[in-house]
């Protein structure tokens, strides 16, 4: 009999009536012939209230006790849900994470699932019960309760669907699907009928709170179709699955993280190892970094800027200030009133001018771009927080995301998937272990750097307009604000376009009083491809550290969920490839 996993989020089980409505959905699925596993979240805002309560007692509560506390929210819901099904005349049994056999590591409040023992669930299903599973929680090998991170019930649901080889995982929530952006922030947002795993993964990490990003890692890794739908209606929803890489639209969605903070370490002695020290110490404290940009400053020193979640700023600053002193940097500054706006799309890799279109739209509204990073399927900009929602709405309009795409797109499974999937699953020690598909080297690119550009709205748009007018294809872009309000920007172009790119920028630099463009006619770009490269936050710091050990300087870096790119000097490409393959040998599939 086919298994169906259904997950109900907090608002979908917020009161008794809603719990009964969810129970009816589970019963209906059982009547349709499925064995049903229902994953539930804590009721309404329970988790928020529990966190508030804890903070009234201790602003920085012990993580183990936090998990003990937070897991109670889901325990209430499973019991009530089982009672509801019982009341409606059907059989149901509730289980906590421990009873479900969800084993995790011991990273309290952000634990990763290692394994799921499905025997007890299967037995209950075979006996005709609807199984009610507590979302968001697990247990360590030493029987300590853990939680998976905010929004983690999605991950419980997809992981259970994977472990039980369920037909589909249905996510019931308070919106009727995945929208082109958060419909609460941008009313023009449009529901998508389908979206690919990679796009959803990037959107989720970029701030689309509708799905927990790690749930999509599971879905992709184990090929679980995920169907996001409304708890309150029978609308068709959104299917998250495989899609062709050549999508006709360049951008499928936009997202924002409104509470980010920028940290800059100023005047870092420009030696391999210094950047690695900063990021590995942050990684060791489990603080994720994003949008990393290095500005080459004068006198053999560099400024390194990156963003963290605002709530992690105090902890990050403690680590960074100490490290800055040790490596002899000049100082640390930060800005906590910033937000990140991103656009995502599989189609952008094949279509030039996407970044320029985004920058131009923001320029037309006078919105200043503080930082830029790009990867193959995502462009992110940092803006002032009070302009962020406007920026999100602006880019949504610029890519006409409110309009239905011209052609319907079908599911397309990669052909080699069957083998790959079994090979991946066969090698995993833990279900959420890092898996890297390949590490590759691109030696065809050059890099152009513009420094001392006045930090004004519209400059990025102008640079890329000049470049686009000469039909130069731009690959990676990084920009950040340097000293005295002057920005620095680097981007890569094909080596054959290097001179043309310099020539395109020269008059513009002269006109705005910036230094003449510089660059390297040949650089090496290394790409690490996999799934969950960002949520496994040590991938970036291991990359930095490995390259530093071999005295290889990282000139540019961009991180996304499915790809981490680093640019080094042209002569170091082969060596960098070798050392990175050694470093990630255990996780690398194509060795």
Positions that interact with Mg ion (CB under 5 A): 9, 151
For ligand ADP, which stretch binds (CB under 6 A), given 9-17, 74-82, 284-292, 540-548?
A: 9-17
Angle, to 10 degrees, between the axis of helix 274-284 and the axis of helix 538-549?
150
Smaller CB separation from ligand ASP, 210 or 369 = 210
Q: Find where tokens 């310099």 sit.
A: 502
Please tell me the distance from the alpha carbon of residue 555 to that of residue 124, in angstroms, as a whole number: 56
Does position 97 interact with ligand ASP (CB under 6 A)? The reply is no
Q: Compute the least distance from the CB of residue 231 to ligand ASP, in Å.
A: 13
Instruction: Report CA Rg, the chain.
Output: 24
Q: Does 399 bind ligand ADP (CB under 6 A)?
A: no
Q: Does 257 bind ligand ADP (CB under 6 A)?
A: no
209 sits near ligand ADP (criterion: CB under 6 A): yes
Question: Which tokens belong to 217?
Answer: 């890692």
The pattern of x and - marking residues 132 through 171 that bind ligand ADP according to CB under 6 A reads: -------------------x--------------------
Tell me the C-alpha distance between 199 and 318, whole Å. Answer: 34
Which stretches within 296-439 are classed as H helix?
Answer: 313-327, 354-364, 388-398, 417-427
Q: Does the footprint of ligand ASP cover residue 150 (CB under 6 A)? A: yes
Q: Where are the alpha helices (DSSP H) in 58-134?
A: 63-87, 97-100, 119-126
Question: Which one of 18-26, 54-62, 144-152, 529-537 is the stretch in contact with ligand ASP (CB under 6 A)?
Answer: 144-152
Binding test (CB under 6 A) with ligand ASP, winner from 11, 94, 104, 153: 153
Identify which of residues 113 and 204 has a Cβ nearer to ligand ADP in the complex: 204
Examine residue 136 and tell whether it contacts ligand ASP (CB under 6 A): yes
77, 92 Cβ separation under 8 angstroms: no
Q: Exactly one of 39, 175, 277, 346 binds ligand ADP (CB under 6 A); which one?
A: 175
Residue 213 sits in the site that holds ligand ASP (CB under 6 A): no
What is the rounded distance in angstroms from the CA atom of residue 288 to the CA atom of residue 290?
A: 7
25 to 64: interface string for ligand ASP, x by CB under 6 A: ----------------xx----x-----------------
Cα end-to-end distance, the chain, whole Å: 39
Element (H, E) at 194: strand 194-196
Three-class DSSP category at 492: strand
Q: Hey, CA dihedral for 544, 546, 549, 550, is it positive or negative?
A: negative
- Fill in the per-residue mask, 37 to 56: x = in contact with ligand ADP (CB under 6 A), - = not in contact: ----x---------------
Q: Are 339 and 306 in contact (CB under 8 A)?
A: no
φ and ψ at 295, to 5 degrees? -105, 125
Between 86 and 150, name the residue whose CB sits nearer to ligand ASP. 150
Task: Pick one of 151, 347, 517, 530: the residue that binds ligand ASP (CB under 6 A).
Answer: 151
CB-nearer residue toward ligand ASP: 8 or 498? 8
Quote the DSSP letter at residue 188.
Answer: T
The answer to whether the beta carbons of residues 23 and 46 sit under 8 Å apart is no
Rounded distance, CA 491 to CA 540, Å?
20
- Residue 538 within binding range of ligand ADP, rule CB under 6 A: no
Least distance in angstroms from the C-beta of 179 to ligand ASP? 19
Residues of the shown chain interacting with ligand ASP in the complex, contacts defined by CB under 6 A = 9-10, 41-42, 47, 73, 135-136, 150-154
Residues of the shown chain interacting with ligand ADP in the complex, contacts defined by CB under 6 A = 9-12, 41, 151, 173-175, 178-179, 181-184, 208-210
């Amino acid at each position: 009999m086919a298994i169906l996993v259904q997950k109900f989020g907090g608002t979908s089980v917020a009161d008794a009536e809603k719990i009964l409505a969810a129970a009816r959905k589970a019963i209906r699925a059982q009547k349709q012939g499925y064995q049903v596993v229902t994953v539930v979240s804590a009721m309404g805002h329970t988790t928020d209230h529990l966190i508030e309560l804890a903070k009234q007692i201790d602003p920085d509560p012990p993580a183990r006790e936090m998990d003990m506390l937070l897991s109670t929210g889901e325990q209430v819901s499973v019991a009530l849900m089982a009672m509801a099904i019982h009341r409606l005349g059907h059989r149901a049994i509730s289980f906590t994470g421990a009873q479900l056999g969800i084993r995790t590591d011991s990273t309290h409040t952000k634990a990763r699932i290692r394994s799921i023992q499905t025997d007890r669930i299967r037995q209950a299903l075979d006996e005709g019960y609807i199984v009610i599973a507590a979302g968001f929680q697990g247990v360590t090998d030493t029987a300590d309760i853990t939680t998976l991170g905010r929004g983690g019930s999605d991950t419980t649901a997809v992981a259970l669907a994977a472990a039980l080889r369920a037909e589909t995982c249905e996510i019931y929530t308070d919106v009727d699907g995945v929208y082109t952006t958060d419909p609460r922030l941008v009313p023009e947002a449009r529901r998508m009928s389908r979206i690919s795993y990679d796009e959803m993964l990037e959107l989720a990490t970029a701030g689309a709170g509708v799905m927990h990003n790690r749930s999509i890692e599971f879905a992709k890794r184990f090929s679980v179709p995920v169907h996001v739908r409304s708890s309150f209606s029978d609308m068709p929803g959104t299917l998250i699955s495989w899609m062709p890489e050549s999508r006709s639209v360049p951008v499928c969605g936009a997202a924002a993280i409104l509470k980010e903070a920028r940290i800059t370490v100023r005047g870092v002695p420009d030696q391999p190892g210094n950047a690695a020290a900063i990021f590995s110490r942050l990684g060791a404290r489990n603080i994720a970094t994003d949008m990393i940009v290095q500005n080459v400053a004068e006198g053999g020193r560099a400024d390194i800027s990156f963003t963290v979640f605002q709530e992690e700023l105090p902890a990050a600053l403690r680590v960074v200030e100490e490290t800055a002193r040790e490596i002899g940097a000049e100082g640390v500054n930060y800005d906590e009133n910033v937000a990140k706006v991103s656009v995502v799309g599989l189609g952008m890799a094949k279509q030039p001018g996407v970044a320029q279109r985004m920058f131009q739209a923001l320029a037309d509204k006078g919105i200043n771009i503080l930082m830029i990073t790009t990867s193959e399927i995502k462009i992110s900009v940092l803006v002032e927080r009070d302009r962020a929602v406007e920026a999100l709405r602006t880019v949504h309009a610029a890519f006409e995301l409110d309009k239905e795409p011209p052609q319907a797109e079908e599911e397309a499974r990669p052909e080699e998937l069957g083998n790959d999937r079994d090979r991946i699953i066969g090698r995993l020690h833990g279900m959420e272990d890092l898996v890297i598909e390949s590490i590759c080297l691109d030696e065809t690119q050059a890099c152009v750097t513009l420094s001392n550009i006045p930090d004004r709205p519209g400059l990025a748009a102008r640079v890329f307009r000049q470049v686009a007018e000469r039909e130069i294809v731009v690959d990676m872009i990084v920009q950040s604000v340097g000293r005295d309000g002057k920005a620095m920007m680097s981007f890569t172009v094909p080596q054959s376009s290097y001179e043309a790119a310099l020539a395109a920028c020269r008059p513009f630099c002269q006109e705005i009083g910036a230094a003449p463009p510089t660059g390297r006619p040949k650089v090496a770009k290394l790409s690490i491809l996999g799934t969950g490269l960002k949520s496994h936050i040590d991938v970036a710091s291991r990359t930095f550290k490995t390259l530093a050990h071999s005295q290889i300087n990282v000139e540019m870096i961009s991180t996304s969920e499915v790809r981490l790119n680093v640019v080094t000097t042209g002569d170091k490409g082969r060596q960098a490839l070798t050392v990175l393959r050694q470093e990630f040998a255990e996780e690398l599939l194509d060795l």
